[in-house]
Structure 1
């Protein structure tokens, strides 16, 4: 942003949770004398296993209702294996994700309530491969902290088959993660100053942090690049914005939202008024539209611009999510928009070692950045009221 000549580029300090994976995980299941190694990855926020690992009988369930029906007598001392796939019949993979991710977020807590010694969760992806997909989990209050990990979809299929063939199958896993004291970090912010001095701002952003298994290219390197590119396009075109435009790289979306909260808190203290905030956090795929969170009148105004986008294949402009990082700004009256790209491939890479830059199409990435630039231009030039 400095090289592109943005008017101001600065860091905004924030404290963030500090979880580290440690040495690579190990896992296998054993039926009789046969051992089969399977790929796993500790979930973010999980505790470690003992140094020698955990080995126990394993119970497969698809949801919390099945787990509770088993009762403590059958679960205590065992490892719980959550094996509910993302629903492949959902048109939107984000809807499929929302329908399955509770087992990742709360699986350890629900298993621990019944005395389990560990939890293994099927990766949140519709793709069959050997990449475990990590992600955040949380512990409830008053329950033991048991280690929990994601297993690849291929590994989950093998494990499920083994349990059905031999209910006495044992599972072993070892992980070395730990949570350290909060650490200092920063949001990174660049801006183009408004010409009218009205004091309103328009923000476009992505989040800097990613899970540690890969480069975080689609989650959310692409969003950060598009947030910078949207402002760069307007500057290159010689556009002089009425309102100050900010490109914000938020820190700590993945395990706490500290960056988004810090930004919103700072805005409130400085009495900054944000007219709108746009986020890209669904991968760098072909843009299809924008989700809008705001008043009916503002939604209608934005939707009235849909014919201008239709030529470029962007038709889905309507109610939807804005984005986790910009969510706190909505509480201050900002209209929130989330870029909606084609979702079909996103969860192939989400939180996995396969989320690398070679999986990003330059053309699709640029199209998303251009769509965001166009939306910023319309909001700035014509307003929302």
Structure 2
């Protein structure tokens, strides 16, 4: 009878012992991240010594070489470069724009060419402006009121949406498709209000597309700062006949070769099952891409370092991937998934950090209900670190091409209230990244990877 009681006692205590072990491992991960950080130094070099890393640029090539060198130094089992062809778009000389209220009376406004846009003629374009709130307004106006004019898309991000990515998603179509749609009505150019929740003088870049529109019909597209948009809108109300001048010299070249940067620790028990953690190495060229997405890259590199430093040996193969060309093509993410399928690799989990280096709050998860319930059951292990949000939602653009069967996709979810102040703009720079917040994000990612590796069936 005593033996039976003792056996029942041990069975009852089993989960407690397991939980205590998990608590200790996660504590060790956070301690190492906060007391022995490497990611912040890596980010400082990427940001201040290399700078903006537009796909196809020399800076992007330098970032590939630098991050590979750092991964080599971590003593991983394998580190390699995966070739991928990427677009090469060059901004050219700084853009010029002004509002003309009468001949010789002008007011300069901050603008930047949108990624993929064509240039204006060498002397620029000057035309009257028609303001719209979205793509659907063009059909209401018709060709008669649009032809020969510059279309000004002025729908702001919806400020009362607490989830700022929802606000971004609600108006980004005017940036991406605005030139293509306005061109169908005979517009000579488009100006798009920057995707930014605050009023400032920073124009925000971003990708746009002409679809299958012939090159001869493509019109230039630029973003205007939120302050500039407010000024232009107000001046149009006073005088609908004002004219807008824009000059930009951007150019699209032939595709060039670049690389995804990959490093891995081989699994000790199930090496054929692969877990990926990553961010995108490319950025826009106006700032230095510290939040978008230098932060995600160094956090992903830190995941492998933190697990090694704390003595954890993953059961599955753990792979870090620094994807190239998320910003204007997603070529790196697609190439990685293509090669994985060609090699018949089995990916069971992928985690991406691409929402800035701000304080982590939790994760967005793309998975089935049983997988979600398992991950959500770990919430008590994260709550001491103020990580409390585990919800179903978009994981990440670079890992989305891996989606098939029962793979779990996850995206680190930092506090997003300040993210779009910097997104794609000249103020996305190193000094706006807080070391403690960055390292907390890395520790949070490493903790999830540890738990998934240990418990996911």
Matches within 5 A, 1:1-385: 1-33=71-103, 34-142=105-213, 144-331=217-404, 333-383=406-456, 385=457
- Runs of 4+ residues over 6 Å off in structure 1: none
- List per-residue Cα deviations over 1:281-306 (Å, max 9, x = no partner): 00000000101101221111111111
Give how far 1:66 is off: 2.1
The answer to whether the Cα contact below 8 Å between 1:54 and 1:173 also exists between their aligned partners in 2 is yes
CA distance in 2, matches of 1:321, 1:63: 24
TM-score, structure 2 as length reference: 0.83
Is contact 1:30-1:171 (8 Å) kept? yes
Structure 1 position 246, deviation (Å)? 0.7
**Aligned residues of 1:275 and 1:334 also touching (Cα < 8 A):** yes
Which moved further from structure 2: 140-149 or 361-370? 140-149
Stretch deviating more after TM superposition (217-226 or 295-304): 295-304
Please state how far the C-alpha of 1:197 moved relative to its aligned partner.
Answer: 4.1
Residue 71 of structure 1 aligns to a residue whose secondary structure is: helix
Query: Any gaps of 5 or more consecutive residues in structure 1?
Result: none
Deviation at 1:258, TM superposition (A): 0.7
CA RMSD in angstroms comes to 1.0
CA distance, structure 1, for counterparts of residue 431 and residue 80 of structure 2:
30
Higher helix share: 2
Distance 1:17 1:66, change over 3 A: same
Residues 108-156 of structure 1 show CA distances to partners (whole Å, capped at 9, x for unaligned) of: 1111111100000000001111110000000133462100000001111
Counterpart Cα distance in 2 of 1:174 and 1:198: 55
Distance 1:331 1:99 in 2: 27
Q: Deviations over 1:170-195 (max 9, x none)?
A: 00000011110000000001111111
Instruction: Quote the Cα distance in structure 2 between the aligned partners of 1:226 and 1:298.
Output: 24
- Specify the SS of the correspondent of 1:373: helix
C-alpha distance in structure 1 between counterparts of 2:255 and 2:212, whole Å = 20
- Stretches of structure 2 lacking an aligned partner (at least 5 in a row): 1-70
Contact 1:15 1:258 (8 Å CA) reproduced: yes
- 8 A contact 2:180–2:213 mirrored in 1: no
Counterparts of 1:58 and 1:24, CA distance in 2: 22
Cα deviation for residue 241 of structure 1 reads 0.7
Q: TM-score, normalised by structure 1?
A: 0.98
Structure 1 range deviating more: 213-222 or 61-70? 61-70
Q: Deviations over 1:333-359 (max 9, x none)?
A: 421000000000000000000000000
